[in-house]
Amino acid sequence: MSDSHHPRPAAPLRVVGTPRVKVDARAKCTGETRFADDLFFPRMACGRLLRSTEAHALIRSIDVSAAVAMEGVYAVLTGKDLPIPFGILPVSEDEHALCPEHVRFVGDPVAAVAARDPWIAEAAVNAIKVDYEPLPVIGSIEEAIARPTPQIHPYADEGNLHRKLALEFGDVARGLAEADLVREDLFFYEGNTHLPIEQHACVALADADGKLTLYSSTQTPHYVHKALAKTLALPPAHIRVIALPNGGGFGGKSDPFNHEIVAAKLALVTRRPVKITLNREEVFYCHRGRHPVLLSVKTGVRRDGAITGMHFRCFLDGGAYGSYGVASTYYTGALQTVTYKVKNYKFDGIRAFTNKPPCGPKRGHGTPQPRCLLEVHLDKIAGELALDPIEMRLRHLVEPNSVTANYLTVGSSGLRACIEKVRDESKWGERRGRLGPGRGLGFAAASYLSGAGLPIYWNNLPHSGVQLKLDRGGGVCVFCGSTDIGQGSDSVLAYVVAEVLGIEPLDIRVVTADTDLTPVDLGSYSSRVTLMTGNAALQAAERARELLTQAVGAKLGLPADRIGLGGRRAFDTANPEIGMSFAEAVQCAEAKFGTIGTVGSYSPPASKAKYRGGGVGPSPAYSYSAMVAEVEVDATTGWVKVPRLWIAHDCGKAINPLLVIGQVEGGVYMGLGEVLMEGSFFRGKLGVHKVPSLLEYKSPTTLETPEMFTYLIEDPDPNGPYGAKEAGQGPLLPVMPAVLNAVYDAVGVRIDETPIHPHRVLEALKRKAEGKEARVGPTALPKLEYAAPVRVPTPWEGGDGRAVAGEPVGHKKKPAEAAR
């Protein structure tokens, strides 16, 4: 792979780097795009799930007789029909498509029907009688710690703590002892959800041979494919999963879901196509959104702000199932080290099971919560040291091409350029502190992965594959398993191939996300697609180019390296008028080599992190973002307004700057929602979602969206295609802390929690007026015995990325083993 990262640097780029329409834009704008719920098939039945009304209970009995007897009902399923558990991570396969005996949150599916139409389906599920034996409800992190029984899952590390882990790099106690100032801060980050405009939907069909096809709005068709094979006990070869364009995903469609497995089973049972489209309330129950996290950080710094030691503690409220939670927990500790140098670093991570919809990956996956605290914490430290918070950070940036305390390999870094850009454009130096009453500026920076270094299930196969088929007519078809969730991944494939082969993106047909037709790509998560599929496409296209130039060279009697491709032609670079059309070039190649198809694949470089838990954090490349937010705080109503902000994002190289800006601004918008108003609020004692509707779950509208000044910093990374790094997640990260820091600058109070509730702003202002500590937020951590840390010497202590102590012998309990 490494030889193809910088293809012919001398040739100017024609497609890559230019603003272009997305390949699917016209269909989206005219309404022609078919989403999963747009599919209709003859004889299609409507499936519907019955969901638990109890937050925590055992199922004594289920009586489906009334539903079965209804006219127009084709099939009724309960947990005994789908007994095999599943889950996205092999270490937490703790879900059942339909709960066999134990329901764990309000919304957990217990039965399902297929019927002639949605009204009959709804009446039928309502006719099913479930007799529950209620169990005590665990509603919060504190309760999960205080109440080890009844256990929500028996495979938990202890009681209702799903995972309890600790990692220490170097010696934090020594680091704190070396410091001139040690400061500790607490923060609570509320959970929130993705809010995709498209509700999850799927259609399953079983053909005459008993083979299954599932169309679904999923970000990860490959994992759905695996989950269907497991839960239905069918050979993977007999299952085809097709991901349709997602009407927004943001991480919420990255797990295999109950309704997908149920639709497949119903299709097999009824021999009819079965569609299940979730309603909005059900989407709130599927959730997999942002974990609520209670956090603390203790940091030792020198007078100049150099970090001598840092200790993070993160308590995650995981909800009722594992989902990506083990990875989420590690992520809350992983990326603190890639922005500013941290000499010694320790992380305690605890994920609690609670009787609420399961949390999982949402844009930023596990990193926004600790990043928010870290950036607020550094703002406070700068205040104590009487340093400018930006200048303090600039002194201690992680160098490009370096290795962090936790063995993350940083390649390119445009962080300095990002910070300086927003500092200068916002006129930070002259405006901060001089905006007048109630107005302020705040700063934060962040970093994110361009794809995880390791796959979700252990294997040594490529993370992404691309096949090209070249047509005699001059068309090129790109096949890839990646899923376009609106971010433009189909377009990236077309741009890269068009660039290499000298044709236009419009000449390229992109076939993606079909497990029968396309080579595996692991899915649209962890900001991996542009880098990984881009590299795979580049390799496949370079190989096609090689065949074309050889064949054309032979035809023209010239060496292959004299042949250029461009303007839909193959030509002699020394005499460009000599040549042929691209279609003729393909014909030459086909005559010489037979049918023309090429493949490319991508695997990330090996990680230096060899300790247990080191699988989370490594990435081929890290993106960087920096933001200055301006706020206006109304001290009478507590209302916080963000009139404008400046954001710079280092994406390595913008394959299409329009799409990158769209991703950056979309991330900023989502971050503003998290900091200003969004929250998944529950009646804790009952585990009942307070706001499972678009009416009451408030997210910002255009009226709250500020003027955004967006700057792309292009610092090409050797691991990215044309140097490209991610843009989909990183730009969300600085938003929340920048706004919180700006609120402090505006009115001198610290809101150490999200979202910023206006009444809490008033409370903080009152405390300030009364001479108390001018903050609201958590004041203590739950009492808990922490896990003994896995100890890893840092690179500068001569470490090699392996642990020297604390690694458990053997393997962790898995759900199935615990159940036995």
Q: Which residues bind another protein (CB under 8 A)?
A: 636-639, 677, 681, 690-691, 693, 695-696, 698, 700-704, 758-759, 762
The helix/strand/coil state of 567 is coil
* Residue 368 to residue 364: CA distance in whole angstroms: 6
Q: Which of 10/695 has CB closer to another protein?
A: 695
Q: Which of 28/690 has CB closer to another protein?
A: 690
| 643 sits in which H/E element | strand 640-650
* Residue 530 to residue 552: CA distance in whole angstroms: 31
* Residue 7 to residue 436: CA distance in whole angstroms: 53
DSSP string, 8-24: -TTSPPSSTTS----TT
Q: Which of 192/270 has CB closer to another protein?
A: 192
The DSSP bridge partners found for residue 792 are 169
Least Å from the CB of residue 672 to another protein:
11
For the beta sheet containing 563-566, the strands, ordered from the edge strand earlier in sequence to the opposite edge, are 563-566, 569-572, 579-581
**If phi over 0 gives left and psi between -120 and 50 gives alpha, with beta otherwise, what is residue 467?**
beta
The helix/strand/coil state of 596 is coil
Query: Which has the closest alpha carbon to 165: 609, 807, 804?
Result: 807
Query: Which has the closest alpha carbon to 734: 718, 764, 711?
Result: 711
* Residue 296 to residue 347: CA distance in whole angstroms: 10
Q: Which of 65/126 has CB closer to another protein?
A: 126
Least Å from the CB of residue 64 to another protein:
22
* Residue 600 to residue 590: CA distance in whole angstroms: 19
Q: Which of 147/698 has CB closer to another protein?
A: 698
Q: Which of 595/702 has CB closer to another protein?
A: 702
Least Å from the CB of residue 761 to another protein:
10
Residue showing tokens 């361009």: 450
The helix/strand/coil state of 214 is strand
Q: Which of 132/639 has CB closer to another protein?
A: 639
Least Å from the CB of residue 119 to another protein:
9
Determine contact, residues 337/404, Cβ cutoff 8 Å.
yes
Least Å from the CB of residue 680 to another protein:
12
Least Å from the CB of residue 701 to another protein:
5
Least Å from the CB of residue 475 to another protein:
42
Helix (H) and strand (E) counts in the chain: 20, 34
Determine contact, residues 227/269, Cβ cutoff 8 Å.
no
Where are the strands (E) in 92-238, listed by range? 102-103, 109-115, 129-134, 161-169, 181-189, 201-206, 212-216
Query: Which has the closest alpha carbon to 570: 592, 591, 586, 593?
Result: 586
Q: Which of 401/693 has CB closer to another protein?
A: 693
Least Å from the CB of residue 676 to another protein:
8
Work out whether the CA dihedral 722, 723, 729, 734 comes out positive or negative. Answer: negative
Q: Which of 301/688 has CB closer to another protein?
A: 688
End-to-end CA distance of the chain: 45
The helix/strand/coil state of 641 is strand
Q: Which of 148/643 has CB closer to another protein?
A: 643
Assigned token pair, 765: 């202002």
The DSSP bridge partners found for residue 203 are 215, 275
Query: Which has the closest alpha carbon to 448: 376, 521, 361, 379?
Result: 361
Least Å from the CB of residue 749 to another protein:
16
Q: Which of 639/711 has CB closer to another protein?
A: 639
Least Å from the CB of residue 693 to another protein:
8
Q: Which of 43/759 has CB closer to another protein?
A: 759
| Packing angle, helices 657-676 and 735-747, rounded to 10 | 50
Least Å from the CB of residue 704 to another protein:
6
Assigned token pair, 174: 């020594």
Q: Which of 129/683 has CB closer to another protein?
A: 683
